[in-house]
């Protein structure tokens, strides 16, 4: 699970072009939106594409998406349970 979280952090940094950010700067449980990384709705679309492209996971329900994209930890947990690739 730790490897997945580090990989996921790097994928987030790369796909959102978070220059100067390193995986170790992102807390596993910090919110990705608002107070945490400060991501916005456009970023959430990018993260949905990342999940589909890299893990074969497509999230259709917006409420489920909000839960899944809450933090790196919540994303890693969801990927571990639903990975298709």
pLDDT digits (tens, 9 = 90+) for 8-56: 999 999 999 999 999 999 999 999 998 889 999 999 999 999 999 999 9
Rounded CA-CA distance 54/43 in Å is: 16
Rounded CA-CA distance 40/76 in Å is: 20
What is the reported pLDDT for 8?
Answer: 97
What is the reported pLDDT for 83?
Answer: 87
What is the reported pLDDT for 30?
Answer: 95
Q: Judge whether residue 62 has pLDDT over 80.
A: yes
pTM, to two decimals: 0.92
């Amino acid at each position: 699970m730790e490897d997945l979280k580090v990989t996921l952090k790097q994928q987030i940094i790369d796909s959102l072009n978070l220059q100067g950010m390193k995986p170790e700067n992102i807390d596993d449980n910090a919110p990705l939106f608002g107070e945490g990384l400060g991501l916005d709705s456009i970023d959430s679309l990018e993260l949905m594409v990342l999940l589909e492209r890299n893990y074969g996971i497509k999230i259709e329900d917006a409420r489920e998406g909000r839960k899944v994209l809450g933090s790196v930890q919540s994303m890693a947990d969801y990927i571990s349970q639903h990975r298709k690739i």
